[in-house]
Amino acid sequence: MPTFALVRGQDRALGVLRAALANRRLHHALLFTGPGGVGKRTTALALASALNCETSPGVGCGTCATCTRIADGIHPDVITLQREGAAQIVPIETVRAQVIAAVGLPPHEARERVFLIDEATALQPAAANSLLKTLEEPPARTRFVLMTVAPDQLLPTIRSRCQRVAFSALGAETRKAMTGGEPDPVVAAAEALVAAVDRGVHAGAAIGVVQGAGGESKLDVAAVVELAAIELHGRARAAVEDGDLPAARLAADRASILVAAHMAIAVHHGHGGVSLEALAHRLQRGGL
Ligand SMILES: [Zn+2]
C-alpha cells in the first residue's frame, strides 16, 4: 500500500510534502516533476492517503479501509484521469465529466478529494485550458496532483498555477535497495548498456543488449538510459579527480549523448511511451 515510508531516495520531495501537511499549508495544486519510475505516483497516492487516512491522519497508515481503497484505485474521491486512444491523451470530455462536473459538489466521503493526472503533458490542449479556472480557484476540499517527466512541455499557465515538487533520479544503489537486493532489470540493463558502450558497440547492437538484459519484462527505457548516463557522469568525475583528462572527456562525451537521448525519450514518453527503435535512432544520430 502506498505510504511515504515506501518511497525511496526522495527525501527532499517528501520533506516538502510532510512539512506542508504538518503546517496545514499544502498547496491545492501540486506538480510532481522528475524521471519515470522514481516514485511520483506512489507519492501522490501516499499523499491522498495521508489526507484521508482514518487511523493516521496527516501520515497515512496504508492499511485502513480508506487507504486500501485509495491503493486499489476504487476510492470515489481519489480519481486518476485516464489517458485514452492511440495517442494516449486525456480528452476534454474526461476533464468535464470527472472534474468540472464534480467540483460543484462536495466530496462523496473524503476529507479531501484528490485528482491525479499521471502525465500532465497528455492533457489535450483544450482539456488543459478547461482546468485552468479550477486550478486557480480551487473548490473546497479539493486537491490536484499533476505529474510529468517533461515540465517544460506543459502550458505555462498550468505550471504557474501549481507548486512544483521535484523528484530526483535514482542511483543504482537506491534501485538495488528498493528491490531488496534482487537484480533490478533497470540496473541490469543500464550496466549492460554502459558495458556495450565501453566495448565500442554501436547503437543497434547496444539496444539489443539492453533488450536482452530486460528479459520478458517491459523495461522503462528512459530509466535505463538515465541510469547509464549517471554512471558515466560518475566515471567522468572520478577521472577528473584522478587527473586522467582523456578518460574524463571520453566518459563525459558518452554521458552527454545518453542525456540527449534521455531527454528525447522523456518528451515522447509523455505521449504514449517510447520505443527501443526510437532510442537506437537517437543514439545513432549522436554517433554512439
Ligand atoms: Zn489509513
Report CA(171)–ligand 1 centroid distance (Å). 30
Sorting pLDDT into bands at 50, 70 and 90, what band is 237?
A: confident
SS3 183: coil
Cell output for 24: 496545514
172 CA from centroid of ligand 1 (Å) = 31
User: Distance, CA 75 to ligand 1 centroid (Å)?
Assistant: 12
Q: What is the 3-state secondary structure (H, E, C) of 119-169?
A: CHHHECHHHHHHHHHHHHCCCCCEEEEEEECCHHHCCHHHHCCCEEEECCC
User: From ligand 1's centre to the CA of 211, what distance in Å?
Assistant: 39
Distance 68 CA to ligand 1 centre (A): 7
Give the per-residue pLDDT at 271.
Answer: 39
Between CA 27 and CA 110, with CA 146 as vertex, the angle to 5 degrees is: 65
Distance 49 CA to ligand 1 centre (A): 6
What's the CATH superfamily of 4-166? Answer: P-loop containing nucleotide triphosphate hydrolases (3.40.50.300)
End-to-end CA distance of the chain: 41
Q: Is the pLDDT of residue 99 over 70?
A: yes
182-195 tens-digit pLDDT = 667 777 778 878 88
Residues 105-148 pLDDT 10s = 999 999 999 999 999 999 999 999 999 999 998 888 999 999 99
With 60 as the cut, is the pLDDT of residue 269 above it?
no
CB of 115 within 8 A of CB of 99? yes
User: Could you read off the pLDDT of 164-176 as tens digits, one per residue?
Assistant: 999 988 877 777 7
pLDDT at 276: 55
Separation of CA 175 and ligand 1 centre (Å):
26
**pTM of the shown model:** 0.69
Question: What is the per-residue pLDDT across 245-257, written as a single tens digit (0 to 9) for each?
Answer: 888 888 888 877 7
List, in sequence order, every residue forming a beta bridge with 143; answer none if it has no partner.
114
User: Quick one: pLDDT at residue 252?
Assistant: 84
The most confident of 34-38, 122-126, 237-241, by mean pLDDT: 122-126
177 CA to middle of ligand 1, Å?
25
CATH 3.40.50.300, the chain: domain bounds: 4-166
CA 143 to centroid of ligand 1, rounded, Å: 18
Mean pLDDT of the chain: 84
What confidence score (pLDDT) does residue 272 get? 39
What is the distance in A from the centroid of ligand 1 to the CA of 117?
A: 22
**pLDDT reading at 273 higher than 50:** no
Is residue 26 over pLDDT 70?
yes
Q: Which of 38-42, 59-63, 208-212 has the lowest mean pLDDT?
A: 208-212
Higher pLDDT, 128 or 198: 128
What is the whole-number distance in angstroms between the Cα of residue 44 and the centre of ligand 1?
A: 14
Q: Ligand 1 centre from 80 Cα, in Å?
A: 19
